[in-house]
Structure 1
Amino acid sequence: MTIGEALKKVQNQLGLTATAMAAGIISKGTYSKVVNGKQSLSSDSLVKILFKNNIDINDFFEMLKSTYMSESKLYEEKLFNGMQQALNNHNTKMAQEYLAQIKTKTSNKYLQQRAEITVAFLTNNIDKLNDEFKKSVIDKLNSHPNWIKDIDALRLFNTSLLILPNDKVEVEMRLFFIKIAHTERISESMKERYAILCCNYLGWRYKKKPKINDNVTNALKYLKDLASTAHFENYKICGKYFNHLFNNEIDTAKQMKSDLLALGITVGVKNWPI
C-alpha cells in the first residue's frame, strides 16, 4: 500500500472529507493528487496530517511495509513472527522448520542466534548450546553500548535470558531500568517491547530464584504502571500473575493461569512457570 492509498483508507475510516483531512496543511487539490498517486508528499506534511487527525503512526506505517520495505527485510520479519508464534504456542515442529529457513535463507545474525536459542528451549536442549555459541551472543550484545534502543539487540537479549550468566542478566536489567527512568519519551511500540522483556525476566528470575530483588520490584512496577488499555492488558495481567508468585500466593497464580488457558488465551501464558 502506498502512502496515498494509506491516507485514503484512514480518511474513510475516520469518515472525513479530503478537505477536512488536509485542512491547514496542504490544499484539497494537492491532497487529491497524493491519494491518487500523482504527486508525492513531503515527510513534514505527512507527519502533520497524521498528528492533526490523531492517526496512530505505528499503525499507519505498518500498512506501508509491503510497498516500502525491502523484500529481504519483509522475509526476515515473516520468519521472526513465525518463530515468535511457535515459541508462544510451544510448537516445536514449527520452530524447527523456521530455524532451518532462518539459517539457510537469511544472513541476520541476531535472528539466527534467537532462533537457535528458541529451538533449544523448546526441545529442552539449552544446556547443549556450547560455550562458543554463548560467547558469540554475549559479544553481540556487548557491541551495543545502548542495546535497549536497538530493536534487534533488545530482542536478542530478551531471548538470551535463557543462556546468559545470572550476574550478566541482573547487571543488564539494572542498567535497563536506570536507562528507561532517564528516557523522556518512550514510544508505544517500545513500551510494549520493554513489557515483553519485563515478563520474560520475571519468568527467568522466578525459575532461578523466586525471591524479590530490586529488578523484580522494578519489573512488576513497570507492568503495573502501563496504561490501562486493551493493547497493554496482557502485560498488566502478566505482572499481576508474577506478583502473586513472588509473594508466594501460588494457588491464586495457578488459578489465574488456568482461567486464562480455559478462555483460550495461550500467547505467552503457556510459558508461565507454574
Structure 2
Amino acid sequence: MKKDKIIGQQLKKVRKQLGLTQADITKDGSIISVGQYSKIENGIHQIDANVLFEILEKNDEIDTMRFLQEVKHQYRLQSDRKINAEELSQKLTMHFYNNDLNGAKAVQKSINKLKKNRELKLRAIITVAVLNNTILEIDEDVKKDISQNAFSTSDWTKKRDSLRLFSNAMQIIDKDVAPVLMAQILKTYDDISSRDVQIQERISSICLNFLYTSFKNQTTKNVPETIELLRHLSDTPSLMFNKILGYYFESLFKGEEMEVSKIENLLRDSNCQNFLHKLLS
C-alpha cells in the first residue's frame, strides 16, 4: 500500500465496519461529493486535511483517536518497508569503511530479506568475510557465485566500495574471471596519470593485488597491460612504492632473478621485512 493511499484505505475499512455507505459518511455529499470521496477511498485522489477532520467530526460512530493511531501505524509500517537496496548498500559501505563487523552483519540480515538484488547480497557476503578475516573460508559455490555475479553492474569499476571489495576478494575470484574483471578496470582507467592521486592509489593497489594473485595462479592474461598501467602512474611520492612494485612483478614474471633480488634487498634494507614476507608467501 502506498502512503498516499493509506488514509483512503482506512476510511473505507472503518466505513464498512460501521455499515455506512459513501453517502452516509459524506452526509449526502454535504462535506465532499460522493464521487470525489469514492476517488479518495480508491487512492485516485488525496484527501484535504480539513475534509478529513470534518468527516471524522460529523460521524460520531468513528473513534477519531483510534483512526489516527491506525493511520500512524500504517505509515510507520510503510516507512519500514521503504528501506531500499540503495540505502542498504550505503549502510553496508559505511560499516565496511568503519571496520564495523557487527553493523555489517546487521545490514546483511536486511539485505538477505530482499527478493532480488543478488549482486548486493554477494557484496554483503564479501564485506562480512573481509571484516571477519574469513574470506578464504567462503563456500566454494558462493565463491563461484561471487566470480560470476558480484561485479555485474555496468558501473562497478567507478564505485569506490566495489573496487575495494574486488581488491579484497581477488584471492577467491575464479582465475579465469579475474582477468576479465581486470580488463574492465584497465579500460576505465586507461588515462590513469590524469586521475586524482587518491584514485591512482586505489587502482594501483588493485593492480598489485591482481599481479600477486596472477603470479600465484601462474596466469598471465592482462598482466602486461596491468604492469603498463603502473608504469604510467604520476611521479608523485605517494605512488613511487607502487611503481617500484610494478617493476618488481614485471621482473618476477620475466624471470629476471637479479632484478627481483635487488628490490627484495631494498625492501630488507628499508626495514620492510613483514611486507616482504607477505610478498613472498
Give the TM-score taking structure 2 as reference length. 0.53
- Within 5 Å, give how 1:183-222 maps onto structure 2: 186-209=195-218, 212-213=220-221, 215-222=222-229
Q: Which of the numbers 147, 156, 170 marks the counterpart of 2:165?
A: 156
Contact 1:223 1:239 survives alignment (8 Å): yes
Q: Distance in 2 between matches of 1:182 and 1:262?
A: 34
Query: What's the offset of the Cα at 1:270?
Result: 4.0
The sequence identity of aligned pairs, in percent, is 19
Q: Distance in 2 between matches of 1:268 and 1:157?
A: 21
Q: Which of the numbers 140, 145, 152 marks the counterpart of 2:150?
A: 140
Alignment correspondent of 1:263 = 270
- Within 5 Å, give how 1:101-180 maps onto structure 2: 101=102, 103-104=104-105, 107=108, 110=123, 113-114=126-127, 116-117=129-130, 119-120=133-134, 126=136, 128-138=137-147, 139-142=149-152, 144-180=153-189
Could you give the per-residue CA deviations for residues 221-274 of structure 1, whole angstroms, max 9, x where no partner exists? Answer: 111121222110110111111111011023432442243144233675443236
Query: What's the offset of the Cα at 1:132?
Result: 4.1
Q: What RMSD over aligned residues (CA atoms) do the two structures have, in Å?
A: 3.4
2:183 counterpart letter in structure 1 = R
1:216 counterpart letter in structure 2 = V
Q: Distance in 1 between matches of 2:102 and 2:273?
A: 25
2:198 counterpart letter in structure 1 = S
Contact 2:93 2:161 survives alignment (8 Å): no
Q: Which has the larger radius of gyration?
A: 2
Contact 1:76 1:106 survives alignment (8 Å): no
Aligned length: 178
Query: What's the offset of the Cα at 1:217?
Result: 1.0
Q: Distance in 2 between matches of 1:267 and 1:219?
A: 25
1:199 counterpart letter in structure 2 = L
Contact 1:244 1:252 survives alignment (8 Å): yes
Q: Secondary structure at the match of 2:272?
A: coil
Q: Which of the numbers 236, 253, 263 marks the counterpart of 1:229?
A: 236
1:78 counterpart letter in structure 2 = N
- Within 5 Å, give how 1:61-72 maps onto structure 2: none
Query: What's the offset of the Cα at 1:201?
Result: 0.6
Alignment correspondent of 2:280 = 273
Q: Please, which runs of 5 or more residues in structure 2 have no aligned partner?
A: 1-89, 112-120
Q: Distance in 2 between matches of 1:147 and 1:173?
A: 12
Residue 97 (structure 2) pairs with residue 77 (structure 1): yes
Q: Distance in 2 between matches of 1:187 and 1:267?
A: 29
2:207 counterpart letter in structure 1 = C
Query: What's the offset of the Cα at 1:187?
Result: 2.1
Give the TM-score taking structure 1 as reference length. 0.54
CA 1:115 to 1:146, structure 2 compared with 1: closer, same or farther past 3 Å? same
